[in-house]
């Protein structure tokens, strides 16, 4: 495919860590994920890049040395890949809680921005966002929704001001397991309260799918309580309603599949289950339904994202170790780009 085909196609590396570890399956090494990503190919098309989590388990040797960003750039570019969005390790702190915890949260955003700038200077990063969440549970948030949303928004504002100094955008990923982000309405309230031009939303097709069903906040469900999966028309109307609210805020986009259930492994709380692109139980028409995020209400391409990414968090290691998994994921992304992409001269 021509180099000027957009959006670029990225794979996420943090699924090698999320839901893994001493309380689950072993962490999958960063190098293994790069190898699987680089080896994937569908009709001559390959992945353009990776989105990465800034965690010591994968990148400690790079994050904690002066020349780390340069060495990481050399490694990733050696696989003919670029780097896009970064996940800040905000769980070292929290957007809600003590001043110390909130200060740590902001400091992790600052570190991500510094590292992201170095990757740009090294010529391996040409776009993307810094991904955050509230790092607090819906249960803690629900003790005082108004006050807690206000404090989360204040922490996010401080983080936005830090990010702005580096020319970075922050994107809060809408997952049902994060307080103040656990429903479409709670997420919208939080974004509006932050009120910063560089504060936006990261839409993951699997996680946001659970917004329709009101998991962890039934009063905000969009689909009726008696909804049947056979009613595709109602499902599409629900997707239209949700994306109309959140699309204008969306800075970053994950292509994914969901079977209508939640899932958690290791220490990770239950959230929207990421399914294989080929899962027969998947409820999304991936190619068609991605269009609700990639096109406006009139069907016009927004061209809001330089790249799109596949996030396969909490896939079993046996699945992630199979090269066919990556080929199937790439095939799904290629179909999305063919339906909703563009050529930029």
State the pLDDT confidence band at 216, using cuts at 50, 70 and 90. confident
Higher-scoring residue by pLDDT: 215, 291: 291
State the pLDDT confidence band at 270, using cuts at 50, 70 and 90. low
Residues 163/200, Cβ–Cβ less than 8 Å: no
pLDDT digits (tens, 9 = 90+) for 136-167: 999 999 999 999 999 999 999 999 999 999 99
Closest by CA position to 94, among listed 43, 146, 135: 135
Contacts of 147 (CB under 8 A, 6+ apart): none
- 2 exposure class (CB count in 10 Å sphere: 0-12, 13-18, 19+): exposed
Q: What is the DSSP string of 266-308?
A: TTPPPEEPPB-TT-TT--S-HHHHHHHHHB-TTS-B----SEE
pLDDT at 141: 96
Hey, what are 27's tokens? Answer: 């962490």
Strands 271-272 and 307-310: unpaired
**Does the CA dihedral 282-288-289-294 come out positive or negative?**
positive
DSSP state of 26: P
Buried b (16+ CB within 10 A) or exposed e, 216-240: bbeebbbbeeebeeeeeebbeebbe
Residues 4/343, Cβ–Cβ less than 8 Å: yes
The pTM of the whole model exceeds 0.85:
yes
- 266 exposure class (CB count in 10 Å sphere: 0-12, 13-18, 19+): middle
Q: Which domains does the chain have, with CATH numbers?
A: 5-343 (3.20.20.150)
pLDDT digits (tens, 9 = 90+) for 123-133: 999 999 999 99
SS (H, E, C) 188-249: HHHHHHHCCCCEEEEEEHHHHHHHHHCCCCHHHCCCCCCCCCCCHHHHHHHHHHHHHHHHHH
Closest by CA position to 9, among listed 325, 305, 247: 305
3-state secondary structure of 173: strand
pLDDT > 90: percent of the chain: 86
Helix axes 323-340, 30-39, angle to 10 degrees: 60
Question: How many other CB atoms sit within 10 Å of the CB of residue 305?
Answer: 22
Does residue 18 have a pLDDT over 90?
A: no
pLDDT digits (tens, 9 = 90+) for 233-268: 999 999 999 999 999 999 999 999 999 876 445 555
């Amino acid at each position: 495919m021509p180099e000027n085909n957009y959006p670029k196609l990225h794979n996420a590396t943090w699924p090698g860590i999320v839901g893994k570890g001493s309380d689950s399956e072993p962490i999958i090494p960063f190098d293994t994920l790069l190898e699987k990503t680089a080896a994937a190919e569908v009709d001559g098309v390959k992945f353009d890049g990776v989105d990465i989590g800034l965690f010591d388990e994968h990148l400690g040797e790079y994050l904690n040395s002066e020349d780390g960003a340069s060495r990481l750039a050399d490694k990733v570019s050696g696989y003919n890949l670029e780097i896009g969005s970064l996940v800040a390790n905000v769980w070292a702190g929290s957007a809600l809680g003590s001043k110390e915890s909130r200060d740590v949260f902001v400091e992790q955003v600052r570190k991500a921005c510094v590292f992201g700038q170095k990757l740009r200077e090294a010529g391996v990063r040409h776009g993307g966002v810094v991904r955050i969440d509230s790092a607090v549970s819906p249960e803690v948030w629900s003790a005082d929704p108004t006050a807690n949303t206000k404090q989360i928004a204040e922490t996010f504002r401080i983080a936005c001001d830090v990010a702005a100094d580096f020319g970075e955008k922050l994107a809060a990923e809408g997952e049902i397991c994060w307080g103040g982000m656990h429903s479409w309405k709670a997420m919208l309230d939080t974004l509006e309260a932050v009120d910063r031009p560089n504060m936006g939303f990261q839409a993951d097709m699997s996680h946001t799918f659970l917004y329709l069903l009101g998991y962890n906040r039934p009063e905000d469900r969009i689909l009726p309580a008696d909804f049947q999966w056979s009613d595709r028309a109602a499902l599409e109307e629900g997707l239209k309603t949700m994306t109309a609210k959140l699309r204008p805020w969306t800075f970053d986009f994950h292509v994914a599949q969901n079977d209508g259930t939640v899932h958690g492994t290791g220490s990770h709380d239950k959230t929207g289950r990421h399914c294989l692109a080929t899962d027969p139980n998947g409820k999304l028409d991936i190619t068609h339904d991605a269009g609700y995020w990639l096109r406006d209400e009139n069907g016009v391409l927004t061209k809001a994202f330089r790249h799109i990414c596949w996030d396969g968090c909490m896939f079993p290691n046996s699945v992630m170790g199979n090269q066919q998994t990556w080929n199937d994921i790439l095939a799904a992304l290629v179909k999305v780009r063919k339906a909703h992409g563009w050529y930029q001269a």
